[in-house]
Amino acid sequence: MLKQKDERLIFRYDAEEVWIEAWGKDSVRIRATKCRTMPLEDWALSLPQAQKAELKLTEEGGELINGKIRVNISPAGKIRIANSGGKTLMEEFVRNRRDPTDPKCSALEVEAREFKPNIAGDYHLTARWESLDPEEKIYGMGQYQQRNLDLKGSDLELAHRNSQSSVPFALSSLGYGMLWNNPGIGRAVFGKNVMSFEAYSTKLLDYWVTAGDTPAELIRSYAAVTGTVPMMPEYGLGFWQCKLRYQTQEELLGVAREYHQRKIPLDLIVADFFHWPKQGEWKFDPTYWPDPKGMVDELKEMGIELMVSIWPTVDRESENYEEMLEKGYLIRTERGFRTGLNFQGATIHFDATSKEAGEYVWDKVKKNYYEIGIRTFWLDEAEPEYTVYDFDNYRYHLGTDLEVGNIYPAGYARAFYEGMKAEGQEKIVNLLRCAWAGSQRFGALVWSGDIASSFDCMRKQLSAGLNMGMAGIPWWTTDIGGFHGGDPNDPAFRELFVRWFEWGAYCPVMRLHGDREPRQEQAGTTGGASCRSGAPNEIWCYGEEAYEICKKYIGIRESMRDYVRGLMKEAHEYGSPVMRTLFYEFPADAKSWEREDEYMFGPDYLVAPVFEAGERSREVYLPEGALWVSTADQEAYEGGQTVRVRAELGVIPVFQRNALTHK
């Protein structure tokens, strides 16, 4: 049965009900369930856009037209999505004999929307679409530790882990973008024959599709319904200093004073984890941090902001555990001892899907940090990280981990964003290790997690950052130099560090971090002191040559402050990524869709990082439609060609765009 009601098409067959409705400019939302009523959670689509669409019913089925997108549903329930020109963008993969008029009618009996019952529970959902074009390219989907920028042919886990963020918005070269609007654990496969998405435990199918002529248009439509970042505060535009970890107040202040004395611009310094007495006690340990207010005031006098690390983990021995347990503010386990992470203590995470739990944590943070002048926070462990990723063993306020687990980092970011907003702060940025669709509107700056210190890993971060931008997360960064290991006295590591530092100047946020070798001596015996610190990680720790190069690139970043501020304004207003694939700026240039090891930093700078040890030159493709000027030697090149350029240590190939046909 097919009918029209309340500006939507509704299809029913047996126990299934399907809703098709306009949702934003040139966009549609499609939902289906076999439950008694349609679940009404909006998840990432929490900014509904009123939109009048053209709907009609005929003997051939139903049709909805909304600007550049049109959706047809057959009398048998098969859905096809096309653009305004009639080109098919998505078509459900279904093989059965219910509709003999369908040329793909078959005895295979494969459903496009398969609701397989979980015994005594909800459904294991699989949604399938035809792979319409073997040359299609897919981008976005968040952050995965792989070199591939084009995700066609990839099999992706829809789950968060340390250094992996599932942000399920896929952008296609065919001219559509699709959000899988389901926070459950699952899987996405972009096969050559079938594209499929799975949710292992859910009540409904829910996805959103937009059509457009360019990637930029698709991203803007997506941002309109999921939100944009706030305006980046001024201290987000320059250089950030961090290491694992400053063990005392005096150590951190000593580093800040050294930067100040050397007249090296420093916007922000970080007090990393275990500056607290125990996990779940969101405050400075007075043994090692005796005067936090005095520290914050001195830093501000030097023009330096302080960021502090927050973990969501709560130690059973902490002062807040019993109260949080009593009030239901902790994640529950389905079996076994209630613990999620056993790093430096048996801990369980606060439940970020509970508004009340988030408010409780924020109240502690407000009292102990915010009220002494700290305005930005490092929301670590945001996946959340588990010692064992048994997703079926955790239960949240909003449901089981399998049903809703991927929304955790968005809830974490939201709790702090709303707390800071209530205090009157407008420009809000907090550093998180993970994100889900919509996290951007809560001021989430995502970094790529605890990654290896290697050239191979550095290369993977470029793909990760570009795909995060295409998934609607414009604020993204890495640990310059990688996180795990690296001896500042090792010449090989110094080369990697310099190459990463060069690239860091052209990332959305320029942030130095890492756990360097050899480890420092432990500074004490109580509180968090048992978590030892890595070796010094300041720019003067890598030898004179590296030091001069680092100063140079901090200076370059400072010289671009106005430009970067403009990029942040565009991200705030339109959702535009700060790091952009070449084809984002040059969609008509076919070769721009093929290049995966260079990118645009905003509209005006093409950046080609050096990803190989010992490399002192590299090939760079310069897109058509612009004149490109090397920032290293001011040599000009016509677009539409590949050139080999100098890249000695201390020189990252960067070209400024003086467009002949600038957009």
CA distance 388 to 452: 20
What does the angle CA 552 – CA 507 – CA 166 come to, to the nearest 5 degrees? 155
Please say if 380 is a catalytic residue.
yes
- Please check whether residue 618 is in contact with residue 653, taking contact to mean a CB–CB distance below 8 angstroms: yes
Question: Of 623, 618, 654, whose CA–CA distance to 640 is shortest?
Answer: 623
Three-state DSSP at 508 gives coil
Omega before 75 cis (within 30°)?
no
What does the angle CA 306 – CA 307 – CA 312 come to, to the nearest 5 degrees? 150
| DSSP secondary structure, 598-638, as one string | -EEETTTEEE----STT--EEEEEE-TTEEEEETTT--EEE
Burial of 16 (0-12, 13-18, 19+ CB in 10 A): middle
Work out the number of other CB atoms within 10 angstroms of the CB of residue 395.
18
* Contact residues for 51 (Cβ-Cβ < 8 A; gap 6+): 22, 23, 24, 25, 27, 66
Element (H, E) at 253: helix 249-261
Amino acid identity, position 61: G
Please say if 383 is a catalytic residue.
yes
Q: Which is catalytic among the residues 285, 383, 479, 604?
A: 383
- Please check whether residue 265 is in contact with residue 238, taking contact to mean a CB–CB distance below 8 angstroms: yes
Q: Which is catalytic among the residues 272, 351, 450, 604?
A: 450
Structure tokens at 107: 């005895």
Amino acid identity, position 90: M
Residue with tokens 């130690």: 315
Structure tokens at 395: 């239960």
CA distance 400 to 393: 8
Structure tokens at 190: 């972009």
Question: Of 515, 522, 451, whose CA–CA distance to 244 is shortest?
Answer: 515
Please say if 570 is a catalytic residue.
no
Q: Which is catalytic among the residues 21, 380, 385, 479?
A: 380
* Sheet containing 54-58: order of strands: 54-58, 61-66, 69-73, 79-83, 88-91
Distances (CA, A) of 125 to 33, 130, 185: 10, 17, 11
Calculated CA dihedral for residues 128, 129, 133, 136, nearest 10 degrees: -70
Backbone angles phi, psi at 28, to 5 degrees: -135, 155
Question: Of 612, 607, 633, 602, whose CA–CA distance to 622 is shortest?
Answer: 607
Question: Of 51, 53, 11, 57, whose CA–CA distance to 34 is shortest?
Answer: 11
Three-state DSSP at 220 gives helix
Work out the number of other CB atoms within 10 angstroms of the CB of residue 10.
18
Distances (CA, A) of 493 to 230, 453, 537, 554, 576: 36, 8, 12, 20, 34
- Largest distance between two CA atoms of the chain: 79
CA distance 9 to 570: 36
Enzyme catalytic residues: 380, 383, 450
